[in-house]
Amino acid sequence: QVHVVESGGGLVQAGGSLRLSCAASGSILSINAMGWYRQAPGKQRELVAVITSGGRTNYAESVKGRFTVSRGNAKNTVYLQMNGLKAEDTAVYHCNLDCVTHWGTRDDYWGQGTQVTVSS
């Protein structure tokens, strides 16, 4: 089995900062990419930021210059530093893991999500 767990969400005022953390564990042979997606009420889940095993990053236009995705010293961890938060950043943030398992399959795994609420 593969487990993905997020932490670090909360309530913050507009203009403030939060740092989300994600850790993956289990039968992981190799990681292709880890990233963050978010889903606001009544909206579809959307990409926020992703980082590949090679360190390449990709961001949604709406968060460029404000959010930074990075990997931890442990290869199975990823962080999302969010600065200059806006009310429209309010959503449940989910961590995504794109990996190859010990069974030889490539799959996507999702965490349960962590709520980020930005008050204006």
pLDDT exceeds 90 at position 74: no
pLDDT exceeds 90 at position 57: yes
Please state, in angstroms and rounded to a whole number, the distance separating the CA atoms of residues 60 and 78.
17
| Contact status, residue 2 vs residue 25, Cβ threshold 8 Å | yes
Please state, in angstroms and rounded to a whole number, the distance separating the CA atoms of residues 5 and 27.
15
Q: What is the pLDDT of residues 77-105, one digit of tens each?
A: 999 999 999 999 999 999 999 999 999 99
Please state, in angstroms and rounded to a whole number, the distance separating the CA atoms of residues 108 and 120.
34
Q: What percent of the chain has pLDDT over 90?
A: 94
Confidence (pLDDT) at 73: 83
Averaged pLDDT for residues 21-43: 96
